[in-house]
Amino acid sequence: MVWEEAAQGFAAMGSEARLQVLRCLVRAGRDGLTVGEIQERTGIAPSTLAHHLKFLAGAEVVEQEKLGRSVVTRANFERLEMLAAFITDQCCADAVREVANDG
Protein backbone atom coordinates (compact mmCIF):
# COMPACT_ATOMS: atom_id res chain seq x y z
CA MET A 1 0.00 0.00 0.00
CA VAL A 2 1.37 3.39 -0.95
CA TRP A 3 1.18 6.49 1.25
CA GLU A 4 -1.56 8.13 -0.83
CA GLU A 5 -3.86 5.09 -0.57
CA ALA A 6 -3.27 4.83 3.17
CA ALA A 7 -3.96 8.53 3.68
CA GLN A 8 -7.19 8.28 1.69
CA GLY A 9 -8.33 5.28 3.73
CA PHE A 10 -7.57 6.91 7.06
CA ALA A 11 -9.14 10.20 5.94
CA ALA A 12 -12.35 8.33 5.10
CA MET A 13 -12.51 7.12 8.68
CA GLY A 14 -11.67 10.58 10.00
CA SER A 15 -15.16 11.61 11.04
CA GLU A 16 -17.16 10.34 13.96
CA ALA A 17 -20.17 9.52 11.76
CA ARG A 18 -18.15 7.59 9.16
CA LEU A 19 -16.32 5.72 11.88
CA GLN A 20 -19.67 4.83 13.45
CA VAL A 21 -20.95 3.54 10.08
CA LEU A 22 -17.78 1.53 9.50
CA ARG A 23 -17.91 -0.08 12.95
CA CYS A 24 -21.56 -0.94 12.36
CA LEU A 25 -20.58 -2.68 9.11
CA VAL A 26 -17.67 -4.49 10.74
CA ARG A 27 -20.07 -5.79 13.40
CA ALA A 28 -22.43 -7.02 10.65
CA GLY A 29 -19.67 -9.14 9.13
CA ARG A 30 -19.32 -10.21 5.52
CA ASP A 31 -23.07 -10.23 4.85
CA GLY A 32 -23.20 -6.46 5.22
CA LEU A 33 -26.29 -4.32 5.71
CA THR A 34 -28.74 -2.45 3.54
CA VAL A 35 -28.63 1.32 3.68
CA GLY A 36 -31.90 1.24 5.64
CA GLU A 37 -30.42 -1.12 8.21
CA ILE A 38 -27.35 1.10 8.61
CA GLN A 39 -29.60 4.13 9.07
CA GLU A 40 -31.69 2.25 11.64
CA ARG A 41 -28.64 1.16 13.64
CA THR A 42 -26.79 4.48 13.54
CA GLY A 43 -29.62 7.01 13.54
CA ILE A 44 -27.86 9.02 10.84
CA ALA A 45 -30.26 10.88 8.52
CA PRO A 46 -30.61 9.18 5.11
CA SER A 47 -29.16 12.06 3.05
CA THR A 48 -26.22 12.44 5.42
CA LEU A 49 -25.69 8.69 5.46
CA ALA A 50 -25.56 8.59 1.65
CA HIS A 51 -22.80 11.21 1.73
CA HIS A 52 -20.77 9.26 4.29
CA LEU A 53 -21.20 5.97 2.44
CA LYS A 54 -20.03 7.60 -0.79
CA PHE A 55 -16.91 8.86 0.99
CA LEU A 56 -16.18 5.43 2.53
CA ALA A 57 -16.76 3.67 -0.79
CA GLY A 58 -14.48 6.14 -2.58
CA ALA A 59 -11.68 5.17 -0.22
CA GLU A 60 -12.55 1.50 -0.77
CA VAL A 61 -13.03 0.78 2.94
CA VAL A 62 -16.59 -0.32 2.14
CA GLU A 63 -18.06 -2.07 -0.88
CA GLN A 64 -21.58 -1.62 -2.20
CA GLU A 65 -23.62 -4.04 -4.27
CA LYS A 66 -27.03 -3.44 -5.78
CA LEU A 67 -29.34 -6.38 -5.13
CA GLY A 68 -32.76 -5.77 -6.64
CA ARG A 69 -34.04 -2.54 -5.15
CA SER A 70 -31.62 -2.61 -2.23
CA VAL A 71 -27.99 -1.62 -1.92
CA VAL A 72 -26.00 -3.84 0.40
CA THR A 73 -22.93 -2.27 1.93
CA ARG A 74 -20.10 -4.34 3.39
CA ALA A 75 -16.89 -3.50 5.17
CA ASN A 76 -13.94 -4.19 2.87
CA PHE A 77 -12.05 -6.32 5.37
CA GLU A 78 -9.09 -6.82 3.03
CA ARG A 79 -8.61 -3.06 2.69
CA LEU A 80 -9.04 -2.52 6.43
CA GLU A 81 -6.44 -5.19 7.16
CA MET A 82 -4.07 -3.51 4.71
CA LEU A 83 -4.55 -0.18 6.52
CA ALA A 84 -3.89 -1.82 9.88
CA ALA A 85 -0.78 -3.48 8.47
CA PHE A 86 0.40 -0.17 7.04
CA ILE A 87 0.39 1.31 10.54
CA THR A 88 1.84 -1.68 12.36
CA ASP A 89 4.41 -3.10 9.93
CA GLN A 90 7.14 -0.86 11.31
CA CYS A 91 6.20 -1.56 14.92
CA CYS A 92 9.17 -1.33 17.26
CA ALA A 93 11.72 -1.26 14.40
CA ASP A 94 13.67 1.58 16.03
CA ALA A 95 13.35 0.08 19.51
CA VAL A 96 15.04 -3.13 18.34
CA ARG A 97 17.82 -1.09 16.76
CA GLU A 98 18.33 0.87 19.99
CA VAL A 99 18.58 -2.35 22.06
CA ALA A 100 21.07 -3.82 19.57
CA ASN A 101 23.23 -0.68 19.81
CA ASP A 102 23.20 -0.78 23.63
CA GLY A 103 24.67 -4.34 23.59
Q: Give me the CATH number covering residue 28.
A: 1.10.10.10
pLDDT value of position 25: 98
pLDDT beneath 50: ranges in the chain = none
As for how many domains the chain has, the answer is 1
Q: Is 29 exposed, middle or buried (CB count within 10 Å of its CB: 0-12, 13-18, 19+)?
A: exposed
8-state DSSP, 71: E
Q: pTM value? A: 0.85
Range of 78's domain? 3-102
pLDDT value of position 97: 62
pLDDT value of position 93: 86
Q: What is the rounded distance in angstroms from the CA atom of residue 9 to the CA atom of residue 5? A: 6
Contacts 24+ apart (CB under 8 A), 54-60: 55/12, 55/18, 56/12, 56/13, 56/18, 56/21, 56/22, 58/8, 58/12, 59/8, 59/9, 59/11, 59/12, 59/13, 60/9
pLDDT value of position 72: 97
Q: What is the rounded distance in angstroms from the CA atom of residue 81 to the CA atom of residue 20? A: 18
pLDDT value of position 13: 94
pLDDT value of position 95: 85
